[in-house]
Amino acid sequence: MKLVLLLSLTAAGLATAAPAHDFAKGPLKIDHPWSRATAPKAPVGAGFLTIQNFGKSPDRLVAIKSPISDDVEIHTMSMTGGVMKMRELKDGLTIAPGAEVKLQPGAEHIMFMGLKGQIKQGEDFTATLIFERAGEVEVTFKVEPAGANPVASGHAH
Ligand SMILES: [Cu+2]
């Protein structure tokens, strides 16, 4: 419990200062949320981050909100007949006790649907992650160049 408290305090203290880029809520730690710059009229953008659960109960990322887009979905990718396909995880994403879940190109990721404007490199934006148990956590996404980590080439909407 003491560790959890320390993590929360650290995250709160650094929220404005920046160098370490992680966030905490209850037993959850959210590390390095990042996104990629989009083309000017792109309808969607992607988000990636790592969630660790230091608690004794599973938690679930059930929804995400962000001022940059109308809607935000949690997607997964899988091979179907030799083709990478993505689909929405309608029940959210479970983080088991002690687990670390990485949302990354080519795997589970966050999808900002109906972008209100271009995502630009260097222009960080916020989003609120909503967990079933831990509640809401506001995080900041760092925006990397368009080609950053180009694993997710099957990303056609
Ligand atoms: Cu997607």
pLDDT digits (tens, 9 = 90+) for 126-147: 999 999 999 999 999 999 998 7
CA distance 51 to 32: 9
Residue 60 has pLDDT above 50, yes or no: yes
Query: Which comes out higher in pLDDT, residue 152 or 64?
Result: 64
- pLDDT digits over 97-119, tens only? 999 999 999 899 999 999 999 99
Question: What is the Å distance from ligand 1's center to 3 Cα?
Answer: 34
* Those residues with Cβ within 8 angstroms of residue 35's Cβ, 6 or more apart along the chain or in another chain: 45, 46, 47, 48, 112, 119, 125, 141, 142, 143, 144
Query: Long-range contacts made by residues 6-9, C-beta under 8 angstroms, separation at least 24?
Result: 7/54
Strands (E), 26-91: 28-36, 44-53, 59-65, 69-80, 83-88
Query: Which comes out higher in pLDDT, residue 149 or 124?
Result: 124
- pLDDT digits over 73-96, tens only? 999 998 888 998 999 999 999 999
Which residues are close to ligand 1, an ion, with C-beta < 5 A?
Answer: 75, 86, 111
Under a CB-based contact definition with an 8 Å cutoff, are residues 125 and 75 in contact? no
Give the mean pLDDT of 69-75: 97
Token pair, residue 152, equals: 């997710």
Query: Which comes out higher in pLDDT, residue 156 or 24?
Result: 24
Residue for token digits 């408290």?
5
pLDDT of residue 153: 41
Backbone angles phi and psi of 112, in degrees to 5: -90, 110
Question: What is the Å distance from ligand 1's center to 130 Cα?
Answer: 18
Q: Which H helix or E strand runs over 139?
A: strand 135-144
Question: What is the Å distance from ligand 1's center to 9 Cα?
Answer: 33
Question: What is the Å distance from ligand 1's center to 29 Cα?
Answer: 23
Question: What is the Å distance from ligand 1's center to 67 Cα?
Answer: 18
Token pair, residue 154, equals: 């099957």
